[in-house]
Amino acid sequence: YLIIHLIEHNFGRLKQSKKKEAEKSFLKYIEQVTIEFNMGLPPYLLSLSLAACFNGNFQQAYLLSVLNQPYLEIQQFINESTIARSGKPIDPLVLDFLWSLINVINPISGIVGQMIAYLICDRIGRRRTAITSCLISIPALLLSTLTQFCFPYYETFVVGRFLWGTANGIAIVVQTVWIVESASTMQRGFVNSWQEVIATIGNLLTQLIGVPLSSPGIWPFMFLIPLAVAIVSLIAFILMHESPQYALMFSHNRQEAALAIRAYHGLKSDIEIDEQIIKYEEDGQRKEEQEKGVDNTRQPNGLEIMFMPWKANDPSSSVIRFGAWIGIMVKIAYVFTGARVIRSFNTFIYHNLGKWSKAFSQVFKHFIIYLHVDLILMENKWICDRVTN
């Protein structure tokens, strides 16, 4: 109904001579979408999308929630490590504060990872950047898994978590860029549609395995699942092709770009592949012309727009900077409301502050997670219904 409404609304403004041309173009577009939908996703694109989403969204959700259930066991491990090294237990308030720092170290490490991705993504390519994230996360997860073998040095757990967050920051950045540049125009929305679903799987999985593994001797085994995901993702990335756009615009390798387009777009005809290559080249040339500007002046980069207004003082940069800082301030205000405490510390709140039993606190956490997922689905359905109607 929305498409029909748009056709009637827009075609009504066209002259009679151009109506047939517009209808013909629209029908050709619908035919192309239908063909690609019926063909399904090419195996390479499907593998890339799943591997990138699990390496990014799944790991991020798992990273944020993994310490929630076994927090008492982690505190006990830190306390026993302190006793073994100093001969006296750590102060309870200091212990809670230290555990909180370990839990919330993820945003800092994530920012570090995003800055690293910003520096290396265009230099070494999307594929190698994703491989780099796996090469960082695998040793980090090994450190976390083998924490008890490093007793009484609990700092290895802190280092492992920081490196894991750094790797995830890199993965989140390169994930979207690589998928969008590799997928065809008609498939870009679909291959990114399951990001939240995979993230929810990671969040739920930490709660499901967190209860049986919340014991002093086995809690580090919770990190085996993300370790396996990182290893499988690494193997998948090694077998993947580079982004076609990167191969053309940065490597200037048409043969590599043709192989990538053949794999990711599922094309077999050389003519169709050449058409896609020409399209990528035209898009790249258009982007370069826009960056150079009409008067061939240098365009400010992202860091200058955000943090150097005296250099990026043109109208476009001012609008981008104003909107970006509003979004950042809203995000910071949301964080300071304490809403994220419910996600990262709810078992602690129920058990330590609410004085509920540990078993009931863990079960109630499951109920909150499922309620959260249901509310998200209901909200999305309500928004879709309101927009389409």
Residue 166 is predicted with a pLDDT of 95
Residue listed under structure tokens 């050709």: 28
CA distance 199 to 328: 22
Instruction: Tell me what percent of the residues of the chain surpass a pLDDT of 70.
Output: 71
CA distance 352 to 355: 5
The domain segmentation of the chain, as residue ranges, is 2-39, 43-240, 312-389
Residue 298 is predicted with a pLDDT of 66
Residue 385 is predicted with a pLDDT of 46
Q: pLDDT digits over 187-209, tens only?
A: 777 777 778 788 888 888 887 78
Q: Which residue has the higher pLDDT, 340 or 252?
A: 252
Q: What mean pLDDT, rounded, does the chain reach? A: 78
CA distance 305 to 307: 6
Instruction: Tell me what percent of the residues of the chain surpass a pLDDT of 90.
Output: 22
Indicate the pLDDT class of residue 167, thresholds 50, 70 and 90: very high
Return the number of other C-beta atoms located less than 10 Å from residue 281's C-beta: 15
Q: Is the pLDDT of residue 14 over 60?
A: no
Residue 344 is predicted with a pLDDT of 59
DSSP secondary structure code for residue 56 in this structure: I
Q: Is the pLDDT of residue 12 over 60?
A: no
What token pair was written down for 311?
A: 């250099």
Return the number of other C-beta atoms located less than 10 Å from residue 14's C-beta: 13
Q: Is the pLDDT of residue 82 over 60?
A: yes
DSSP secondary structure code for residue 275 in this structure: H
Look at residue 1 and give its three-state secondary structure.
Answer: coil
Q: Which of 9-23, 236-250, 253-267 has the lowest mean pLDDT?
A: 9-23
Residues 6+ apart with CB under 8 A from 167: 59, 113, 133, 134, 136, 137, 140, 230
Return phi, psi of residue 310, to 5°: -70, -20
CA distance 205 to 74: 19
CA distance 389 to 375: 21
How far, in whole angstroms, is CA 195 from its chain's centroid?
8
Residue 3 is predicted with a pLDDT of 45
CA distance 196 to 177: 17
Q: pLDDT digits over 62-77, tens only?
A: 988 888 778 788 888 9
CA distance 171 to 59: 9
Residue 160 is predicted with a pLDDT of 93
Q: Which of 173-177, 290-294, 337-341, 350-354 has the lowest mean pLDDT?
A: 290-294
Residue 388 is predicted with a pLDDT of 41
What token pair was written down for 177?
A: 């860029």
Runs of H (alpha helix) within the chain: 2-11, 16-39, 43-53, 59-65, 71-86, 92-103, 105-124, 126-145, 155-182, 188-191, 195-210, 224-239, 244-249, 254-265, 270-292, 302-307, 315-336, 339-348, 358-388
Look at residue 240 and give its three-state secondary structure.
Answer: coil
Q: Is the pLDDT of residue 260 over 70?
A: yes
Give the mean pLDDT of 271-280: 80
Residue type at 370? Y
Q: Closest by alpha carbon to 360, among 372, 370, 349? A: 349
The CATH code for residues 43-240 is: 1.20.1250.20
Residue listed under structure tokens 């450190």: 143
CA distance 218 to 197: 28
Return the number of other C-beta atoms located less than 10 Å from residue 68's C-beta: 22
